[in-house]
Chain A
Amino acid sequence: MSNRQFPGPHDVEPIKGTEGWERMYPYQYPFTRDDPERAAYEKGMFWFYDGLHYPEPMYPFDMIWDEAWYLALSQFNTRIFSIPPVYGVDHRIINGYVYITPVAVKDPKEVEKRVGHFIERAGYYYQNWDALVDKWEVKIKATISGIENVKVDPLPELEDMSVVVEGLGESKGYKLLKAYDDIIDLGIRCWQYHFEFLNLGYAAYVTFMDYCQKQFPDIPLQSVTQMVSGIDVLMYRPDEELKNLARLAVELDMANVVCAHDSFAPAQAAMSTTNSGRKWLDALEKARYPWFNVSSGTGWYHHDRSWNDDLDLPFSSIRMYVEQLIAGQSIERPTEQVAKERDRITAEYRALLPDADAVEAYDQLLQTARTVFPYVENHLFYVEHWFHSVFWNKIREVGAIMKDHGFIADIEDVWFLKRAEIKEALWDLVTAWATGVKPRGPKVWPTEIAWRKGVMDKFRQWKPPPALGVPPDVIQEPFTVVLWGITNDSLKAWSKAREATNLTDIKQFTGFAASPGTVEGKARVCRLASEIRDLQAGEILVAPTTSPTWAPAFSKIKACVTDVGGIMCHAAIVCREYGMPAVVGTGHATSILKTGQLIRVNGTTGEITVLD
């Protein structure tokens, strides 16, 4: 390992002009210097940059999800299911970027003790998976309807008469504080549910992967994932809705209207003048709830607006599909073909197993992996997309009130405050309103926010190292491997990219072989989902990471390359469904490659080659 060095967690140079940045984040997040015991612990751990969730520096408010999953994942590992050799995942932040590390249980006796609990507890979940997932759906839907129903009302000059005649005994000021608490509480609760099944799901998945690799040392990981592909999951539903709308537009003879407009509003105006047009608009309206609650990003950032927030996003995708339909191209996912290929691969490997015991284990583990798979995918739609999309807008409603009271200059400034600071500011705001005096906030926050914006700009120009500290020999946290793709090979590739003085000099690099096949084509680097509008048919998409919003891109491209992600990330799954090559978790593809470059993507070996 000694030859694979990343900077130590305390050796990262501070950025000039950002001094004091630590106060933008929870106080326990920065690496410590004044606590020798904690510093020694930090030094002994291997921290990797969580670029999967955070391609950008953290906004103080957006840290809520980081804290939420910090708690949720860790508690399920440590305190609920008792994953024997591993506790939770610890978090730190440096220059606005989150680093995480799985925490191992070091005492063998403790591990031993945890085994019994694990068998009993996790065993119960696996055995009752479907019934518990049904329960989960009820809980998550209640949480979503909870957030949809939170009322954030402005503070009136004088309370409504109903407060008096109904004897309510509560003011709008109190209600605002409570509404904010409810929004935050629902958010944290939503993330409790998010992890209820996820780690167990990944563990089952990794186990099947391991079993296959033990039986077939040469088996490409994507063959294992192909065996679990072709299962219908919610994630495809929003995209299917767009395709249906595209088909309907053609059917209703509205294709020319769709194609004639670059954005939704004028198209809507044109449509509303005809019967067919109105029929189409009705269908669109029906599809919007809940299916347009899809984030344009990963859902992790407040600026990842949903389709419902910006109908131009789904509209341009619909238009893309309409154009393809008119050109006589198929816009179907080759579901049948994928299922057929899945069955072939599954049967062929099965036939090569040495004996009946091996076949039994294979069948059992495959079945378990297929059982857990839909949850592993579906939670994304409920939590990161649907809930988050509603959540961000509720906070915007709070921000609007803060703006009205002069606490912030713009609603979008609210993200520069920590959630606890917003609560404090709301107290300031509400008590001043109640008292009939001026609050202190308007003199405090705008200045602080202006400074924080400057700091964030500097953070943005900084490239966070992929990892800090010394890599361990073994990583036991199931997530770390499946989602982030932290393995020997990925670390090697990342450190290689780090050594290169000029990233654009790199002519060959590797990532995770996530979906098999080899193609050559022109690269199209899209850092944001909105940039997929520029995609030309047959190009190779190069993105930091992808999410369901990127779905329309996949019917145009012939391969996909991402910076971050393991073989279970969105891009990997979708490419397997489309049967096109994908290489994910390359670390730096969006920095190394340039739009227009001719590249070769080998989804079987994970190699990317620059050809010109």
Chain B
Amino acid sequence: MPNHHPLVCLFQDCNRESLALVGGKVSSLGELINAGVRVPPGFAVTTQGFRQFFREGGLDREVYSRLKGLTEPETQAIETACDEIRQMVEAAPISIELEDLIAEQYRRLSMHCNVPAVPVAVRSSATAEDLPGASFAGQQDTYLWVRGVDTLLTDVRRCFASLFTARAVAYRLRMGFAHEDVDLCVGVQKMANSATAGVMFTLNPANGDRSSIVINSNFGFGESVVSGEVTPDEFLVNKISLEVVRRAIPKKEIFYAVDRESHSSRRYDVPLERQSVQSILDEDIAELVRMGKAIERHYGRPMDIEWAVDGDMPTGGNVFILQARPETVWSSRQAAEKPAAKSAIEHILATVMTGKKVS
């Protein structure tokens, strides 16, 4: 990074070391990108940016003094103070310099995505949120399908303000964290306009085989797959040969897509002629498998991944990873049943004793 304390920075410029600057969520996005994983593009308004905004015109002093002396049991007082603070924060101006940086990155993002005023998700990413036992952070505000610079700037401020919800403040008081020590960053990321989406396990959830990858997919957002509302297409892929070993293409009657009016996803019927069509291209399966392997390598364990194929972006660069978390079911089971170490001849004996099941 040319500037070590930038106010705004691209996801791909972040890594593990950027945790203090961009928070856990964005720094891990950066890590993934550097590991060869494609995530929806975006940028972050850094903690540096947040601080600059917060110090501008003495906003920080006002806020902290308003919180001073409050203790956790005073719920009503906290509630009142927080309401005031949030109004203050949301109304505070962003410096011309910061505003210009955000607007520039946003326009670049729109150009990169080939979508004018590209819809983005605006999320807070606190510096302490992903640390064990401290999953509090600022109230996790997320604004979806945000379009245009003005709305974006408003939502960035609303994210900043989310550090001061009554719940977050009460939590910090209880845990003994100083309000001044918690920083916030805001991630601005292209909304994946999923033509197809779903989940991917980097092991076979049916038998725990770590040499397999299982992909579930349906048209539209991954919501229909995650919620179990459809029986998705299922692909069993050999992680080593990269071949699709088994595929099941059932009828998929519904899918989710965005309703631009309400800025939320809506259920639609899959047209009859498309119901039994494979919802993902084989090339995209290959791309997912490649990224699944990279993610697994990166985290050193089997992962459970959400992904999407973005309809806005040209093929070849539109398969995105939305989320990745460690798989837990088989990972814990495998550790439990450890076979006794045996010599080769004992293994061979066991084989001839067991024989081969025919039925």
Contacts and interface: CB of A to CB of B under 8 A. Distances in A.
Interface of A: 1, 83-86, 111, 115, 118-119, 122-123, 126, 203-204, 206-207, 210-211, 216-220, 223, 344-345, 348-349, 352, 354-355, 357-358, 360-361, 364-365, 367-368, 471-478, 480-481, 486-488, 491, 516, 604-605
A498 to B, nearest CB: 17
Contacts of A357: 338-339, 341
Contact of B240 (A111, A123, A223, A491): A223
Interface stretch (B172-180, B208-216, B224-232): B208-216
A204 B241 contact: no
B234 to A, nearest CB: 13
Tell which of B204, B241, B342, B353 has the most Cβ of chain A within 10 Å.
B241
B334 interface: yes
Given A207-B344, A220-B245, A348-B240, 20 more contacts: A85-B352, A111-B353, A115-B349, A118-B349, A126-B344, A203-B348, A207-B350, A207-B351, A216-B209, A217-B207, A218-B209, A218-B212, A218-B236, A218-B245, A220-B241, A223-B241, A352-B239, A367-B344, A474-B354, A491-B358
A208 B344 CA distance: 9
B355 interface: yes
Given A119-B349, A474-B358, A349 B240 contact: yes
A472 B335 contact: no
A362 to B, nearest CB: 10
Contacts of A358: 339
Given A83-B352, A207-B348, A218 B204 contact: yes
A84 B348 CA distance: 11
Given A220-B238, A354-B335, A476 B355 contact: yes
A492 to B, nearest CB: 10
A86 B351 CA distance: 12
Contacts of A126: 344-345, 348
A84 B236 contact: no
Interface residues of B, number: 38
Given A354-B334, A488-B359, A361 B341 contact: yes
A474 B344 contact: no
A475 B345 contact: no
A215 to B, nearest CB: 8
B344 A368 contact: yes
B260 interface: no
Interface string B324-337: 00000000001100
Contacts of B236: 218
A516 B240 CA distance: 12
A473 B357 CA distance: 6
Contacts of B108: none
Contacts of B359: 1, 471, 473, 488
A354 B334 CA distance: 7
B358 A473 contact: yes
Top 9 closest A-B pairs, CB basis? A476-B355, A207-B351, A216-B211, A217-B207, A474-B355, A218-B209, A352-B210, A218-B212, A207-B348
Interface string B233-254: 0001011110101100000000
Nearest to A516: B241
Contacts of A480: 356
B348 A86 contact: no
A473 B208 CA distance: 25
A345 B357 contact: no
Contacts of B343: 364
A204 B348 contact: yes
Interface in B1-53: none
Given A217-B209, A349-B211, A475-B358, A203 B241 contact: no
B356 A476 contact: yes
Contacts of A474: 354-358
Contacts of A368: 344, 348
A85 B347 contact: no
20 contacts: A84-B352, A84-B353, A85-B355, A86-B352, A207-B344, A211-B347, A218-B212, A218-B236, A349-B211, A349-B240, A354-B210, A354-B335, A357-B338, A365-B347, A471-B358, A474-B356, A475-B355, A476-B355, A477-B355, A478-B351
B203 to A, nearest CB: 9
Nearest to B213: A218
A359 to B, nearest CB: 11
Contacts of A349: 211, 240
Tell which of A115, A210, A218, A487 has the most Cβ of chain B within 10 Å.
A218
Given A1-B359, A220-B241, A475-B355, A123 B345 contact: yes
A367 B347 CA distance: 13
A122 B358 contact: no
Contacts, number: 133
Contacts of A210: 351, 354
Contact of A203 (B207, B208, B338, B352): B352
B352 A478 contact: yes
Tell which of A1, A473, A486 has the most Cβ of chain B within 10 Å.
A473
A83 B352 CA distance: 7
Given A203-B351, A471-B358, A488-B359, A516 B338 contact: no
Nearest to B246: A605
Interface in B278-325: none
Contacts of B246: 605
B335 to A, nearest CB: 7
A218 B238 contact: yes
Contacts of B241: 220, 223, 345, 516, 604
A605 B245 contact: yes
A219 B359 CA distance: 19
Contacts of A203: 348, 351-352
B260 to A, nearest CB: 42
A349 B208 CA distance: 14
A365 B357 CA distance: 21
Contact of B358 (A123, A220, A478, A487): A487
Contact of B344 (A115, A223, A364): A364
Tell which of B339, B345, B353 has the most Cβ of chain A within 10 Å.
B345
B204 A488 contact: no
Nearest to B337: A354
Interface in B245-278: 245-246
A595 B97 CA distance: 76
B183 to A, nearest CB: 38
Contacts of B357: 473-474, 488
Contacts of A364: 343-344, 347
Interface in B169-205: 204
Contacts of B355: 85-86, 474-477
A481 B356 contact: yes
Nearest to B297: A351
Nearest to A352: B210
A604 B243 CA distance: 8
Nearest to A481: B356
A345 B211 CA distance: 11
A203 B39 CA distance: 48
A210 B355 CA distance: 10
B207 A218 contact: yes
A471 B359 CA distance: 8
Given A203-B351, A216-B209, A220-B241, A365 B344 contact: yes
Nearest to B350: A207
A220 B353 CA distance: 23
